[in-house]
Amino acid sequence: MSQKEHFFSAKNRKLFTDPFNNGNPITVLVLGICSALAVTVKLQPAIVMAISVTVVTGCSSLIISLIRKTIPTRIRIIVQLVVVAALVILVDQILKACAYEISKQLSVFVGLIITNCIIMGRIEAFALGNKPTPSLVDGLGNGAAYGAILVIVAFVRELFGSGSLFDIRIIPESWYVKNGGFYENNGLIILPPMALIILGIIIWVHRSFNKSLHEK
């Protein structure tokens, strides 16, 4: 047993935490942007999307890593796609059964997790050449780091676009112009371009704190 690595070993911990900082799939690698724009108008769908993507990245990395030595190199992309697609269909079906309203809001974007570059990227770059445990950790870490950015964007967009969080009103009704106040929701925040701008601001803040990301 002494040879075997502990699940929470320093190396595995780093695999999990690295995507949150130096290797963030959205802010550093700029992958998976399209869904980050589409599902971040409200917090609740963003969180469901984050969990779905984390489950898919984690499980697909684990499965591919388990069978990595048996996969014929020539059809390896097809094998990866079949595994990812099967997992996404499962997630979609489970959402339809357990969270029908949210699955309707996420609509095509659940199906489009298949095309999320983060998943294929992690499988190609990591799971194909590493043992199952680190692959699982790496997949989960990347999914969660993607999800974290999604949640931050959704937080800003729901708060300033709709004046609520989780559909619970945060900005008091009496502040609104229509009720004689001074405040108005920012309609622009609801639209996709604003998600891109918020993302840009997050990248800016991230890079100004992390000097190692600066190009020489």
Partner 1 sequence: MNTNKNSYTLIYSTIMVIIVAAALAFAADALKNPINKNREIEKKMNILMSVGKALEISGEKNLFIESEYKKYIKEEFLVNAKGERIQGDAFNTDLKKEYAKPEQERKLPVFVCIDKDIKLYILPVRGKGLWGAIWGYVSLKDDLNTIYGTNFDHASETPGLGAQIATRNFQERFSGKKLFKNSAFVSVQVIKEGSAALDDYKVDGISGSTITSKAVGKMMLESLSNYRAFFGKFSNQ
Out of 90, 125, 197, 201, the residue judged to bind partner 1 by CB under 8 A: 90
214 binds partner 1 (CB under 8 A): no
* Shortest distance in whole angstroms from residue 215 CB to partner 1: 36
Burial pattern 154-169, b for ≥16 Cβ within 10 A else e, equals: bebbbbbbbbebeeee
216 binds partner 1 (CB under 8 A): no
* Shortest distance in whole angstroms from residue 189 CB to partner 1: 12
96 binds partner 1 (CB under 8 A): yes
Out of 71, 152, 156, 196, the residue judged to bind partner 1 by CB under 8 A: 71
CA–CA dist 39, 31 (Å, integer): 15
* Shortest distance in whole angstroms from residue 79 CB to partner 1: 6
Angle between helix 132-162 and helix 117-125 axes, rounded to 10 deg: 160
Out of 98, 182, 211, 215, the residue judged to bind partner 1 by CB under 8 A: 98
Which contiguous run of DSSP H or E holds residue 154?
Answer: helix 132-162
| 8 Å CB contact between 132 and 67 | no
CA–CA dist 14, 175 (Å, integer): 46
Rounded alpha-carbon distances, angstroms, from residue 216 to 120, 166, 212, 213: 29, 42, 9, 9
188 binds partner 1 (CB under 8 A): no
Q: Which listed range, 51-59, 96-104, 166-174, 196-204, lies at the site for partner 1 (CB under 8 A)? A: 96-104
How many positions of this chain bind partner 1 (CB under 8 A)?
24
Chain centroid to Cα 126, Å, comes to 18
205 binds partner 1 (CB under 8 A): no
168 binds partner 1 (CB under 8 A): no
CA–CA dist 107, 39 (Å, integer): 10
Interface residues with partner 1 (CB under 8 A) are 69-75, 78-79, 82-83, 86, 89-90, 93-94, 96-98, 100, 107-108, 190-191
